[in-house]
Amino acid sequence: MYNSDTPTRAELPSSKQLLRSTIVAAISAVVLLVAVVLPAEYGIDPTGMGRVLRMTDMGEIKQQLAAEAAADAAAIPAAAPSQSVDATTGMAPAIAAQLPAPVSAPPPVAAVAAPRIEWRDEISFALTPGEGTEIKLRMNEGAKAQYSWVVEGGQVNYDTHGDAPGKSISYEKGRGVPDDAGVLEAAFTGNHGWYWRNRGKADVKVILRTSGDYTDIKRMK
């Protein structure tokens, strides 16, 4: 025989109390969804709280990586149809017939050496298969920075972008790239730089060199 205290009817919650508790729980769930889940998982930030809490960047990176994975899975090179080749020109007859008559090559022009850049910072790091990292320069609006990066042992996917409170921009993206160089001009005052991801099957080493008008450089992750 069990001895237990059965609650009286007065101790049980009323229908209004249950309804109020349900409404409060639903509102809390919606707030968490909009302020935390959407920015952190999908990069959607309708309230701006995700950018303040630095969760929107994480969501944007997750979406970018998911898109890269889908693109890699769908990138199946199509086999080119076989064509007969002319033994003299080394091309298909239909293509060779459309080409103009060959002309004599102009005299060689002496190469002009490009000016040597005095790099201000150099950072190198390794990426295992599937690993990614991000490096940012702190720059004022309109500032310019020269950069050059090269991959040893393979290729990487990259995204050159910038961010600041309430602002973000993607300058350039690439897939399966061994190196890149140029000038990065800040569209607004904030952090501007690169995100690299190793989609290969072997470790790679990335070497980044920078110079120009920026206050500091740091590795974000």
| Domain locations in the chain as residue ranges | 18-72, 121-219
| Coil/strand/helix, residue 205 | strand
Where b means 16+ CB within 10 Å and e means fewer, 47-85 reads eeebbeeebbbbbbbeebbeebeeeeeeeeeeeeeeeee
27-31, 84-88, 177-181, 217-221: which has the minimum mean pLDDT?
84-88
pLDDT of residue 78: 47
Instruction: Please state the φ and ψ torsions of residue 24, each to the nearest 5 degrees.
Output: -60, -45
- The second-level CATH assignment, the architecture, of 121-219 is Sandwich (2.60)
Distances (CA, A) of 180 to 12, 148, 155, 203: 69, 6, 11, 19
**pTM to 2 decimal places:** 0.52
What DSSP string describes 131-160?
-EEEEEEEE-TT-EEEEEEEEESS-EEEEE
Could you read off the pLDDT of 73-86 as tens digits, one per residue? 776 554 444 555 55
Percent of the chain whose predicted confidence (pLDDT) is above 90: 46
DSSP bridge partners of 181: 148
The pair of structure tokens assigned to 206 is 């990335």
Q: From CA 155, how far away is CA 112, in angstroms rounded?
A: 29
> Is the distance from CB of 158 to CB of 194 less than 8 angstroms?
yes
pLDDT of residue 15: 79
pLDDT of residue 31: 74
What DSSP string describes 160-180?
EEEEETTEEEEEEEEEEESEE
Token pair 């109020």 is found at 20
